[in-house]
Amino acid sequence: MYTTESQNEHLEDKNTPSSTTPQILKDSSISEHEETKETVLSQTEETKPQMEKKCSCPPQGKLNKLITNGVAFFMVWCAAWSFSGPEVLPGGNLFGLLIIFYSAIIGGKLLELIRIPSVPHLPPLLGMLLAGFTVRNVPFLSNYIRVNNMWSSTLRNTALTIILIQAGLGLDPQALKHLKRVCFRLAIGPCLMEACSTAVISHFLMNFPWQWGFLLGFVLGAVSPAVVVPSMLLLQESGYGIKKGIPTLLIAASSLDDIIAITGFNTCLSIVFSSGSVLNNVLASFRDILIGALAGAVLGIFVQYFPSGDQVRVQRIIKTTWCIFQPLLFGLVGSEVSVATLKSNAIGICVATMSLALLIRISFTFVLMCFAGFSFKEKIFIALSWMPKATVQAVLGPLALETARISAPHLEPYSKDVMTVAFLAILITAPNGALIIGILGPKVLTRHDPNKINVELTKLELH
């Protein structure tokens, strides 16, 4: 009995942990269930205010932003009305500028909504251009939206100044030093070749005088960093073409290309609208270039130290200013083109002139890159990437028209043709150039790991 009882007690002692284990597991599972229940309740309690916040009054998100922008627009209009009176009413200059400005912003935002997989976004400036074109050619709107020629010219000249400043800020000294020969070849050669070929083609197809042909050539000769730079940065970040520095080359050369085109345009403009001899005008243009280069060098030495490197005030000011003038610029350019004044045969001739000159530019760019160590596919990509046109054409195209209206009304037909060609060049080459770069780049360029190759990403402002 003793042994049996002791054995039973021993067995009961052994069974005691096993009998309590399920209870412990049960209690732990209950506690974990309660903890998860509490966390779920806490999460629902946290998300509940957020859901209530989304559905609360006043509204949040996009609706709030829309209402805010609408109130801001109304306040700007009221402030302008307080000191200008009828200028902000329908038919006034300020009213026209406000409508064109906000229409261009809306057009750019709408174009940003168009997204194609594995293709960079279409440039918003195209939507701004089409918005101004729509405002001008809708009968009801065109009767009340008008902008004085002097106002429009002043704003475009201001935009030209901002573009020149941005072109200078966009130059990358390290990239120019590393790829200086190829970069200068790419910036100067295609621009001059397209200017000369445009002069010859427009002389025979459009019956342009030679000086007007070269003026049109330098309008078309500029490539658009607004299209090239963001497209190249996307390829560079993905590692395409970085071993040979193709994105860096195109980014660095695009700003220099604009400076050359603008300089050539100003020289031709002074020749066209001057009564002196051609030689005197050319010498005067070179004199202005030397003075500008000297003044730029002196100011460059100054801004090297003032402001200091820890201040980014200048870049912020230029960027903010461009955000204001970009919709005004492209909206005003689009509003200058009237469908009623365009002839059907004139559009065809303008497109033919631009297309032939562009083919010559692409072919010449391919030839120039034959001595730079690139493969056949890379040369094709560089040549096709060097075709988009946008910002400079928007500034220089109407500039000849404004000058003709002021000083030589008899030359106005030529200047209208120049502006029409510039408008069509933006409309055709800007979206197609962005699509070609985005689709062709990953297919023809060799991809490398950006972390294994020392590539310095350029910090350029888009323009």
The domain spans of the chain are 56-88, 90-444
State pLDDT tens for residues 56-105. 677 787 788 888 888 887 888 888 788 777 888 888 888 888 889 989 99
In whole angstroms, what is the distance from residue 140 CA to residue 427 CA? 24
Match 């019956």 to its residue by tokens: 207
**Inter-residue contact 287 to 295 (CB < 8 Å):** no
The answer to whether residue 166 scores a pLDDT higher than 50 is yes
Candidate CATH numbers 3.40.50.300, 1.20.1530.20, 1.10.20.60, 1.10.20.10; the one for domain 90-444: 1.20.1530.20
Distance CA 318, CA 453 (A): 32
> Can you read off the two tokens belonging to residue 112?
């940003």
Higher pLDDT: 217 or 155? It is: 217
295-332: per-residue pLDDT in tens?
A: 888 987 887 787 776 666 777 788 888 888 889 888 88
3-state helix, strand, coil in the chain (%, to 5): 80, 0, 20
Contacts of 316 (CB under 8 A, 6+ apart): none
Q: Look at 376 and 115; give whichever has higher pLDDT.
A: 376
The enclosing H or E element of 407 equals helix 391-407
What are the start-end ranges of the E strands in 110-204?
none
Quick check: pTM over 0.85? Answer: no
- The DSSP symbol for 410 reads G
Angstrom distance (rounded) from CA 459 to CA 451: 18
Displacement of CA 166 from its chain's centroid (Å): 12
Neighbours of 12 (CB within 10 A): 10
